[in-house]
Amino acid sequence: MNNLKYFTAIGNQYTMKRDYVFLLMVCLALLGLTILGVRIKEPIVSWFFGILAVVCFISIWSKLVLIDMDEKEFVVKVGLIGKRVEIPFEDFQSFKLVRMKQYFITTNTYLIICYLKDGKQKEAAIAQGMTSKSMQKIANEIDEILLSNEHS
């Protein structure tokens, strides 16, 4: 298997590396709005965006995307209040790429895993970024991990 760009391998567990760039951009924008609230002397605005900036900054370290080849499952936890979702390989259906556009400009892109739970189709976000190309590379790397370990 080639060198992994988006995952780190520890034994038979592959953990997705954290993407600091996108979330730090969001945190900096929220901090900018906090400073703007202080400058225009609106304490409610500054407190609101200040708290959001802190929550966003903390949520960077709570994200977990794990491919466990021993247990044959994906483990996904995104955000502070998002619950941990364990997806067995046999319930895995596909990946979905969702792009959000504003006035013909892509503002956000999500990579979503689709799976079955109790006979119903469910979804969980795995990654988010600015371009669909980077999300496609992550999906390709997950496929590469699954295929290389399927044959071993």
Higher model confidence: residue 99 or residue 152?
99
Give tens-digit pLDDT for 34-49: 999 999 998 999 999 9
Domain borders along the chain are 1-17+64-152, 19-62
Give tens-digit pLDDT for 67-109: 999 899 999 998 788 889 999 999 999 999 998 888 888 788 8
Q: What is the CATH number of domain 1-17+64-152?
A: 2.30.29
- Determine the Cα angle at 145 with ends 67 and 9, to 5°: 60
Q: How far apart are CA 92 and CA 72, in angstroms?
A: 11
